A and B are shown apart, each in its own frame.
Chain A
């Protein structure tokens, strides 16, 4: 998924003090230099590693359910998700991301299956995330041209309203993204994704900021797709940033053995 989302989900990097070369958040600036601003945000959200326990609640017209899972991540390229509590056949299920590829460990079958490229666009575990969201590790700063449209209040926060349009050579599925950045923290409050016809396809909101080390982290992320009656919410139970995560965690062989 896009860097902001990926990083917010996997939440990385947390020493007690911000890195020395990190620019200060230009909170007072009405028209900040937008490219460095976005790079800064991505850097804050990105980090070395994370270990998190989260609940993913999925609401659709047909069903409502919550899956509890543990997520390990390292950089942008490696992640492992293990379902701690889910449906009857999915507890123990694991999804391994290694760069651009996804494998699923299926606990009932006791087998690993690589996701065929044709199914990248399908829903991940019935949520409003697609498999593609998990795999994409691209950077907004690299793929989009940003413009600050205006500044104003959003949900009680002073925010910059930024429009991101894909660069001509960027391989992205969106026609446009609107990003609402909190001026106090330089963190995203909301992202709106538009397709190439200009239709709003989904909204992602970030809430419940919590201080973790030197930075604030959104503990609740909500995705609302255009489809009526659907919503996916992720809330963190626990989150450990920049800890040690063994490379072994992301090995395919361990996955095949059903080990986390």
Chain B
């Protein structure tokens, strides 16, 4: 009965309620929309990082992250992978060799990053032109590097570097194809070759520089898995790091954006909350007489309080539904967005994802619902208390 009465009260002054609800629904739409957009972008970025460049976790020779050196390796990747499989049964691993060198083609030369990968398991790059590595004396090179060196598939690339034993590593390779990756830096500087080829080039034996670990999760926080992995590894010779430890700037930027949004949410709802407060105060004031009648008829103060609160909450409910609908329309209407168009090049070593699928996130709904209902309740609580405390005699005199 209370709910029904509150519902009817909403429409007693339909115009005022509609104005209040409009401002609330715009607030909700704003929060849901921005939250979803931000998180979708974050997720896309984390997915790019974890599936491509970095993986969720990496295992290195101790000290590699701090000071990458060609001779700091995971000496026995097979053994380490076994330990890893024990600690994280569903994880996938990928071995990589990483070194700096000088690449030459004809008269041109350029400093490059040499990457030894397992061509079948790596997700580091997408082929742009030419063919995938088939083993042998072949390399793929980043698209921009190919332009710089004037190379195309079938061309010849000379590489010089320093091996792990200090000797001069040098060799000549056929360019099988060019690639694009999730990092502009890679596209402009990377030479990719089969893992065993790179191990032999750098005189590494079985050693690899990175064991890239991918977990079957979309979670941003992988610290439990890192802890589990560390327990299984010999930390005197190895280190295990999460993507956020390897790219702390990316993680902290995400966190800063979230904090800023929290402030935004607060401001939006402070304004909306004051609107609710104003509307409900007016509504109680206008109905002083009838509230007095109710009170005189023996309605208990608690029910009067409830009546006003529920009126506000009804409005919040409607506004929430409309706000979510607006946000959904906006998000799904846009469908995908291209962050890389907004920010050219790499941001802190990571290229912005070019395709972000915008979706309504349940977490965004929760956050918006929480704020909307809380604000409505808080905005209405003072007027509601006033209604509950009305003295019937005085109220009846009010016209």
Contact A63 B111 (CB under 8 A): no
A126 contacts B162, C-beta separation under 8 Å = yes
Known: A62-B164, A63-B71, A87-B203. A119 touches B102 (CB 8 A): yes
Is B369 among interface residues, defined by CB-CB distance under 8 A?
no
Kindly list chain A residues whose C-beta atoms are within 8 Å of the C-beta of B166.
58, 60, 62-63, 65, 87, 126
**Chain B neighbourhood of A88, CB < 8 A:** 167, 203
Contact assessment for A113 and B109 in the assembled complex, using a CB-CB cutoff below 8 Å? yes
Q: Does A125 contact B (CB under 8 A)?
A: yes
Q: A175 CB to closest chain B CB, in angstroms?
A: 26
Q: Is B168 an interface residue (CB 8 A)?
A: yes
Number of interface residues of A (CB under 8 A): 28
Contact B172 A86 (CB under 8 A): no
Closest to B171 in A: A108
The answer to the question of B152 belonging to the interface, with a C-beta cut-off of 8 Å to chain A, is no
Assess whether B167 is in contact with A65, with CB atoms less than 8 Å apart: yes
* Inter-chain contacts of A156 with B (CB < 8 A): none
In which size bucket is the chain B interface? 20 to 34
0/1 interface trace, chain A 100-130, chain B, CB 8 Å (1 if under): 0000101111110110101100010110000
Which residue of chain A has its CB nearest to the CB of B109? A116
> Counting CB contacts under 8 A, is B160 at the interface?
yes
Interface residues of A in 192-235 (CB under 8 A from B): none
Indicate which residue in A60, A108, A111 contacts B104 across the interface (CB closer than 8 Å): A111
**CB distance B158 to A62 under 8 Å?**
no
Q: Mark A176-191, 1 if CB is under 8 A from B, else 0.
A: 0000000000000000
Q: Which residue on A lies nearest to B168, using beta carbons?
A: A90
Is A111 touching B158 in the complex (CB atoms < 8 A)? yes
Nearest A residue (CB) for B104: A113
Residues of A within 8 A of B167 (CB): 65, 67, 86-90, 125-126
Instruction: For B170, list chain A residues within 8 Å (CB).
Output: 89-90, 93, 106-109
Q: Is B163 part of the binding interface, using a Cβ–Cβ cutoff of 8 Å?
A: yes
Interchain CA distance A49-B164 in the complex, whole Å? 35
Closest 6 CB pairs of A and B: A87-B167, A106-B170, A126-B166, A109-B172, A62-B71, A90-B168
Q: What are 24 A-B contacts with C-beta separation under 8 Å?
A: A60-B166, A63-B164, A65-B165, A65-B167, A67-B167, A87-B163, A87-B166, A88-B203, A89-B163, A89-B167, A89-B203, A90-B168, A108-B170, A108-B171, A108-B172, A109-B158, A109-B172, A111-B172, A113-B102, A113-B104, A114-B109, A116-B111, A118-B111, A119-B102
Other A-B pairs beyond A89-B171, A111-B104, 7, CB < 8 Å? A63-B164, A89-B169, A106-B160, A108-B170, A111-B158, A113-B109, A126-B166
